[in-house]
Structure 1
Amino acid sequence: MCPFIETIRVEQGVLLHIDYHNQRMNDTRSAFWPNAKPLDLNHFLLPPTAEGVMKCRVVYSDVIEEVSYTPYSIRPVRSLRIVCSDTINYTYKSTDREALNQLYEQRDTKDDVLIIKNGYITDTSIANVALFDGTHWFTPKHPLLEGTQRAQLLQKGIIQEKEIMLEELFSFSQMTIFNAMIPFQSLVLDVNSAFISY
């Protein structure tokens, strides 16, 4: 079994949304190691106080295996290619990204891929998505991975869950791509332009 990971945004030495990372990590550990006692990442992490944004990467199984910190900057995503896979499964944030990487390799000249499963929009290869209808932001009800920022945005009512079929994509005006490292609405694409293509 491959280890699992949590990727945590660090700003000026402060770990962001750590409670959500703790929850997901312990949910994963209880699914694979039912007898494992919950862990608190706060007891294992001591991020550097450098200015700017750092990425904290935690590799774990039933125990914390590795912690690393690296400087981070957002990789621009201006275009997406739609790819389909009805067998892709990334329910748990694992170090095994082979299936996602294979889909990412199909991006051609685009920056990333938008993954369709059983006719429904899910995620990109690295992030959750939300679509704007002019009034509300909707995120796919069944993403490949339930991200920590996604959980927070849902809890705050900033986004809403919705089953979104591929055929409905162009009824939305904008798409935002987000994860623990990419803040909500920091990457926004115009759906009705040439950004997203088949």
Structure 2
Amino acid sequence: MKYFETIKCEDYEIFNLHFHENRVAKTVGLNLNLQDYIYPPSNKLLRCKLIYDENEVINVEFFEYKKREIKSFKLLFDDGIDYSKKFLDRSCIDKLFLEKESADEIMIFKNGFLTDTSIANIAIFDGDNWLTPKKPLLEGTTRNRLLENKDIIESNIDLNMLKNAKKIALMNAMIDFDILEDYSFFE
């Protein structure tokens, strides 16, 4: 089984490495110093893809990063999906993404509750607090950092809560906490 980490690099700086190392340790039990493997080749905004298995780091690649514009979401309901670890094989998510129709992105519900998009954890603003799903498909590193800092709160988010949200935010290692105020979704 192979896994990967997506790590933000810019101006030769590597961001939030501690949270990536924690996820590697939780995923396969390896306590790696990822700094030993990551040497950004330029000062541009880069997406580092570090591939590993139960024994070692297998490969490290860098890609220039350009953020996708996301304004519309297709709501999908799949109680059988499992992406609890950052598997290199994302076929279960890729298959759902193909169902997005004219939307830019998908939002995945499992057992009646919001989980994630295909590329990011999600949070909704209910007017008082930023809430993030209690059971995401994947516990992202940015999500974990924001929970640790008490910037977001875990909650079971149903469809009604999503529809009544004042704002939503997507979060991952590359975009951090990206608040969307102009968005739409459909079932």
Structure 1, unaligned stretches of length 5 or more?
31-36
Deviating beyond 6 angstroms after TM superposition, the runs of 4 or more aligned structure 1 residues are none
Q: Which amino acid aligns with 1:28?
A: T
Q: What do residues 89-143 of structure 1 show as CA deviations (whole Å, max 9, x unaligned)?
A: 0000011111101110000000010000010000001100000012211000100
Q: 1:11-160, aligned counterparts within 5 Å?
A: 11-30=10-29, 37-50=30-43, 52-61=44-53, 62-160=55-153
Aligned sequence identity (%): 35
Deviation, 1:16, is 0.3
The normalised TM-score by structure 2 is 0.95
The normalised TM-score by structure 1 is 0.90
Structure 2, unaligned stretches of length 5 or more?
none
Task: Give 1 or 2: higher strand fraction.
Answer: 2
The equivalent residue for 2:185 is: 196
CA distance in 2 between partners of 1:111 and 1:140 (Å): 21
Q: Is the 8 A contact 2:71 2:182 kept in 1?
A: no
Deviation, 1:39, is 1.4
The equivalent residue for 1:33 is: none
Aligned length: 186
